[in-house]
């Protein structure tokens, strides 16, 4: 059975729609693989961040994109937050935003 994907909000979907072409292409390929094989693609494409939060890791010639997601009942993946990385380390506020949305989803 295939997995379904959705976005936490239209704003999150709009964020990835304006990503540079190379990053966006890599992201779309990763989502297609997740829909077919499930969210656990393993490094370097996906990584567990703890407490039910996961990260999609994509690269393009323009840089690096990250999207945080969780899974919900019925083989459903929800993209909680997305951004283009500007630094080596994931910014704390980006991670906090994803964790806050994850808490909201669990309620």
- Evaluate whether the domain defined by 4-106 bears CATH number 3.30.2310.20: yes
The residue ranges of every structural domain in the chain are 4-106
Q: Quick: pLDDT tens for 5-15.
A: 999 999 999 99
Q: How far is the C-alpha of 67 from the C-alpha of 79, rounded, in Å?
A: 7
Q: What is the pTM of this model?
A: 0.92
Q: How far is the C-alpha of 42 from the C-alpha of 57, rounded, in Å?
A: 10
Q: Quick: pLDDT tens for 87-100.
A: 888 889 999 999 99
* 46 neighbors 56 (Cβ within 8 angstroms): yes
Distances (CA, A) of 82 to 1, 2, 37, 74: 26, 23, 21, 23
Secondary structure (3-state) at 96: helix
| pLDDT on residue 44 | 93
| pLDDT on residue 107 | 76
| pLDDT on residue 73 | 80
């Amino acid at each position: 059975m295939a997995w379904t994907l959705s976005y936490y909000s239209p704003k999150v979907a709009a964020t990835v729609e304006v990503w540079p072409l190379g990053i966006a292409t890599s992201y779309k390929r990763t989502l297609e693989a997740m829909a077919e094989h499930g969210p656990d693609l393993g490094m370097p494409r996906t990584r567990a961040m703890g407490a039910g939060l996961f990260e999609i890791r994509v690269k393009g010639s323009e840089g690096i994109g990250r999207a945080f997601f969780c899974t919900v009942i019925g083989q459903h993946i929800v993209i909680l937050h997305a951004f283009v990385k500007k630094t080596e380390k994931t910014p704390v506020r980006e991670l906090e935003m994803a964790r806050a949305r994850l808490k909201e989803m669990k309620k």
